[in-house]
Each structure stands twice: as structure tokens, then as C-alpha cells.
Amino acid sequence: MKERGRLFVLSGFSGSGKGTIVKTLLRDHDNYILSVSMTTRAPRDEDREGVTYFFVTKEQFEERIAAGAMMEYARYGDNYYGTPQSFVEEKLAEGYDVILEIEAQGAMQIRKKAPDAVMVFLVTPTAAELERRLVGRGSETQESLTKRLRQAWTELDYIPQYDYMVVNDDLEACAALIHRLVHTRPDECRPDAAVIAAFREQLREILPRYGVTVDGAEG
Ligand code: 5GP
């Protein structure tokens, strides 16, 4: 029988390049498989049912929670997002390394349920770079930009609970590094309190420009 696969949680700021890292890992290695999440948010143009997400109603989602069918879930914005348990279990048993691309609240639930999961938090080199990438997308409404920056501020607090913090400055190098972290779990790339603090200070200056007020970030 094949050896059980690894559970790999990838979180990171919106704009950190999580999606591209996942695509690169899936392209370069055949051991990975991406867990398709369930969500109550409305599909966007680029979404495909069963590929990017399973789209369900709030009632359907709550039924799944009640049935204990979600491995983790979170409310993010006005919507639910969660990981269906059965797919993950099945694929781990088949020997795949299963990627969960999820936000931090859900990641913390995985931390408890599956202590051997490898958890990586992806950041941009600087907060200014995060701002540049989000603004540069051009597709963000002011409201969504504001939400993503506020979310980044909140997520900073969770980074110390991840196994690894990785800076996405060069896509290929970053994907290769993450692959190595997942497979050899070296004692490096640990969340660095000084780097997190510096990021927080930079964000504190950027946020008010977008009208975002958070504790300690006003003015
Ligand atoms: P989006 O609406 O942009 O597709 O996703 C918003 C956020 O939800 C992203 O940070 C994404 O990683 C997170 N997310 C997607 N699927 C899940 C999930 O199954 N569980 C949790 N906790 N977060 C998810």
C-alpha cells in the first residue's frame, strides 16, 4: 500500500501569490493534489464549479457543517468557505500530498485536528509590494482592496502559529523552497517576529491611505 500523503496548508495575504504557487507545484510535481473548497460566495467570471470551488447556498453549507462533513470552515467577509473532509481523507489515503489553500482561521482548525500538517504562510517582500500587487491587479474595487488590506492586518497575528513563513519574491525559487519545506521539514524559514513587526509598521502607514482604520493604525 502507498504511504499516506502529507497535508499541506498554504495561507498568505491576498496578493501574495498563493494561487500561482499552487499552480507551479501542481505543474512541477505529480504528488500534489488541490482540495477544492466549498463556498457560499457568488461565482466570478473565472470560476468553474467543482474546479475552483463547489458553490452552494448558505443553507446547504450549514447542513454540511451540522453533518460534520467539513474538515474546517470559516466565515470570510459575508461568506462561508470550507474544506470537505471526505475528499482530503481519500486523497491522503491514496498517497497524495493534499494542498489546502485556505485563510488563517481555517488553518488554525487544521492545526488542532491534524497536528502533523505542514503549514506555510506566504508573504510579499514588503507591505508596499503587497499594496502594489493589489492595486496593480486593477480588478479590485476600492471596497475589495480595503477589505484585503484589512484582512492582511488581521492575519499578521496568526503568522507565528505557522510552521514556516516564506517570502514570495521569485516565483520559481519560492515554489521550490516550499516543496522542500513540505517534504523535508527543515528547521529554517520559521516565522520571524522582527520581520512580522516590520511588516506591521509598514502596513500601519499604508492602511489610512485606503481609509482603513484598525486598532493602532489610525492617523
Ligand atoms: P476568494 O473569495 O478570493 O476565492 O477567497 C477568499 C479567501 O478564502 C482566500 O484567502 C482563500 O484562501 C480562502 N479560502 C478558500 N477556500 C477556503 C476554505 O476551504 N477554507 C478556508 N478557511 N478558507 C478558504
Q: Please give the distance, rounded to the nearest whole angstrom, from the Cα atom of residue 54 to the centre of ligand 1.
A: 12
Pocket (CB within 6 angstroms of ligand 1): 14, 37, 41, 72, 74, 76, 81-83, 101-103, 105-106
Name the closest-CA residue to atom 20, ligand 1.
Answer: 82
pLDDT band at 168 (very low <50, low <70, confident <90, very high): very high
pLDDT band at 72 (very low <50, low <70, confident <90, very high): very high
pLDDT digits (tens, 9 = 90+) for 38-66: 999 999 999 999 999 999 999 999 999 99
Name the closest-CA residue to atom 19, ligand 1.
Answer: 82
Query: Does the structural domain 7-35+96-210 have CATH classification 3.40.50.300?
Result: yes
pLDDT of res. 179: 98
Q: Please give the distance, rounded to the nearest whole angstrom, from the Cα atom of residue 169 to the centre of ligand 1.
A: 22
pLDDT of res. 142: 82
If you write DSSP's letter for every residue of the chain in order, what string do you get?
-PPP--EEEEEE-TTS-HHHHHHHHHHH-SSEEEPPEEE-SPPPTT--BTTTEEE--HHHHHHHHHTT-EEEEEEETTEEEEEEHHHHHHHHHTT-EEEEE--HHHHHHHHHH-TT-EEEEEE-SSHHHHHHHHHHT----HHHHHHHHHHHHHHGGGGGGSSEEEE-SSHHHHHHHHHHHHHH--S-S---HHHHHHHHHHHHHHGGGGT---TTT--
Q: Among 49, 102, 112, 130, say which to mutate for ligand 1: greatest number of ligand atoms within 8 Å of CB.
A: 102
Name the closest-CA residue to atom 7, ligand 1.
Answer: 103
pTM, to two decimals: 0.94
Q: Among 9, 81, 109, 154, say which to mutate for ligand 1: greatest number of ligand atoms within 8 Å of CB.
A: 81
pLDDT of res. 162: 98
pLDDT of res. 218: 44
Q: Please give the distance, rounded to the nearest whole angstrom, from the Cα atom of residue 101 to the centre of ligand 1.
A: 7
Atom of ligand 1 nearest to the CA of 105: 22
Q: Compute the mean pLDDT over every residue in the chain, rounded to the nearest whole number.
A: 93
Domain ranges of the chain: 7-35+96-210
Name the closest-CA residue to atom 24, ligand 1.
Answer: 102
pLDDT digits (tens, 9 = 90+) for 93-112: 999 999 999 999 999 999 99
Atom of ligand 1 nearest to the CA of 101: 12
Name the closest-CA residue to atom 14, ligand 1.
Answer: 102
